[in-house]
A and B are shown apart, each in its own frame.
Chain A
Amino acid sequence: MHASAAKGATIAAVRPRRRWHWALALPLGWLVLVAFLAVTADWIGLPDPAAQELILRRKPPSLEYLLGTDNLGRDMLSRIIYGARTSLIVGICAPFLGFLIGGAIGMSAGYFRGKIDLLAVGFIDVLLAFPALVLALTFTAYLGQSLFNVTLALGILSIPAAARVSRANTLAWANRDFVLAARTIGASNWRILTREILPNLLPPMFAFWLVAISVIIVAEGALSFLGLGIPAPQPSWGGMIADGREALDVAPHTALIPAAVMFATVLSLNFVGDMVRNMVDPRRSAL
């Protein structure tokens, strides 16, 4: 009781620092804005992101074109917002796919140990040993460039990280007495994995997923920059940076604006991810 009372005291002392911080309103607000615009892009009266107007190319930001126009005279604001849609679809779905597969691999490895663990860790190491971008490049080069294939390639790339996180967490939870207790009430391995261990894994996995989204958004940008990402004319932030690169000296906004938007989004995701992790951590140590 003394121990638990002392623990309660430290939590009470620490919590105010870890709780909501006003500075987080900014990244959170930015993410909400980006997500909202990406979802409602079709209904808010944006000009067609693919409509070219060569006379009006490389216009700096003005009242008519809030973020200016690009090399082909397309509206940058519209392209940024439709690009956000691409980035978010890939950024959310790819890690989700990777976490589904990687999480299952990591959980089985950490729970069953032995040969399964050996096999899973070997598989993860092989996947990690591949240069990530080269693997994704090969993938899209052979299967063809499409939103689906890019998502699939980046999803596979996020398997190892997800597997490692879930394996490490499963190792820690599987040795708790409540798992043993579940076994003594006659629970099967499947039941223990899904009902006892999985719910404990979700909070840290969710925090890590937020960070993974930002990594994948950057990776998608890199792929598009190399010309092997989302095919034109569908806008994506990486593709816009690549297009703008040619005119960096005469119209720097064409490359810098999408870069800045990507920067702000990734930074916000990392801030929010850290916040979620901090909210998850003290709860775990308290139990």
Chain B
Amino acid sequence: MSDAPFLSVRDARVGFATARGPLRAVDGVSFDLQAGRTLGIVGESGSGKSVLVRSLIGLVGAASGAEVAGQVLLDGRDLRSLSPAELRGVLGRDIGIVFQDPMTSLNPVMKIGRQIGEGLRLNRGMDAAAAARRAIELLAEVGIPEPERRASQYPHEMSGGMRQRVAIAIAIACEPRLLIADEPTTALDVTVQRQILDLLQREQRQRGMAMILITHDLGVAAGRADDIMVMYAGRAVEMATTREIFRSPRMPYTEALLRSLPRLSDPTHTRLSAIPGRPPDLARRTGGCSFAPRCRYRDTRCDEAQPAETREGGRGYACFHPIGAGA
């Protein structure tokens, strides 16, 4: 952890102009990611996870009416200062993305093999035949039986899990150094989820890629991420190693998330604890902590000011009432 981080994000902000006024979808998020490590970004729907990551690589920008600010350094290169053509080069070679829904992330009228080969032809200058051969190898690598036959099929001829495997093959085709998995298992059957996560983890280890795993499910992040960043209402409210998050959460929101996970060891018919209330309206931020209205430790201070990030060794959190903190 001593050398410069592979990916370094400082004070990322994304705002949208809405009919009800400006909306800050991402509000000052910073994190570092070392090569070969996995960062889990956890938060509920609308907490800004996907927007954050998409804004980092220029997929959310002025074209979609968003205001993006902050610094993004990938291997020392400032991504936000690149021209569109340079950014396309970086995206094609260094970054691979797996999206949530394999029903929509594959082109329905293009054969599987060609979709995988597309990036290779674009970024590696391969000819069609070489790209087609490599596509078959990649299909085999992501665990699709009969890759030769599958390569000439269309997406609708495959199941959801297989399609997600194809999406992974597309993402890793150009040997990226950063793999972003945006809720890769949310649209899949529970039995398939695990296979896909195992596949992602295996590929990540074999290729030494850094990985960002976006999920709303702490259980998904638990076994797969080295570090976890918890997001709430567009802010990073807690960041720590996975072990620390599960052993001793500091932020009450993290604690509440952990309590709402069902446990097999619970007796049957145990009431699942849920977080009361609903996430705040991002277009109408109050001055205080955005989790305060739902927090059981809330006091007047929480309503008046936004807690700054407190650092504690390698971890950080933004709360006035950290749970179990030594200080």
Contact = CB atoms under 8 A, between A and B. Distances in A.
Contacts of A199: 107, 109-110
A2 B190 CA distance: 11
A244 B68 CA distance: 70
Q: Which of A1, A114, A196, A284 has the most CB of B within 10 A?
A: A1
B178 to A, nearest CB: 11
Contact of A184 (B95, B101, B106): B95
A200 interface: yes
B172 to A, nearest CB: 11
A177 B189 CA distance: 20
A178 B122 contact: no
Interface string A104-118: 000000000110000
Contacts, number: 89
B219 interface: no
A178 B161 contact: no
B187 to A, nearest CB: 9
A183 B170 contact: no
A254 B67 CA distance: 69
Nearest to A188: B88
B167 A287 contact: no
A113 B65 CA distance: 11
Nearest to A189: B84
Interface stretch (B152-160, B278-286, B303-311): B152-160
Interface in A268-287: 283-284, 286-287
Contact of B118 (A182, A188, A284, A287): A182
Interface centre among A178, A180, A195, A284 (most CB of B within 10 A): A178
A187 B103 CA distance: 20
Contact of B88 (A113, A181, A186): A186
Given A181-B97, A199-B109, A186 B167 contact: no
Interface in A132-190: 176-178, 180-188
B295 interface: no
B91 A183 contact: yes
Given A187-B118, A200-B109, A177 B104 contact: yes
A184 B91 contact: yes
A62 interface: no
B86 to A, nearest CB: 10
B260 interface: no
Given A1-B192, A187-B118, A187-B122, A178 B88 contact: no
Interface in B143-178: 155-156, 159-161, 167, 170-171, 173-174
B109 A185 contact: no
Contacts of A180: 59, 97, 99, 105
B74 to A, nearest CB: 14
B17 to A, nearest CB: 14
B104 A176 contact: yes
Interface in A1-40: 1-2, 4
Interface string A199-223: 1100000000000000000000000
A182 B106 CA distance: 9
B188 interface: yes
Nearest to A5: B159
Contacts of B195: none
Contacts of B103: 4, 287
Contact of A1 (B95, B97, B160): B160
A178 B188 contact: no
Interface of B: 57, 59, 63, 85, 88-89, 91-93, 95-97, 99-101, 103-110, 118-119, 122-123, 155-156, 159-161, 167, 170-171, 173-174, 188-189, 192
24 contacts: A4-B160, A114-B63, A176-B104, A177-B100, A177-B101, A178-B107, A180-B59, A180-B99, A180-B105, A181-B97, A181-B99, A184-B57, A184-B97, A185-B174, A186-B89, A186-B119, A196-B107, A199-B107, A200-B108, A200-B109, A283-B156, A287-B108, A287-B155, A287-B156
Closest 5 CB pairs of A and B: A186-B92, A185-B119, A287-B108, A177-B105, A1-B189
Given A185-B170, A287-B155, 10 more contacts: A1-B159, A176-B104, A181-B97, A184-B91, A185-B91, A186-B119, A186-B122, A187-B122, A191-B122, A196-B107
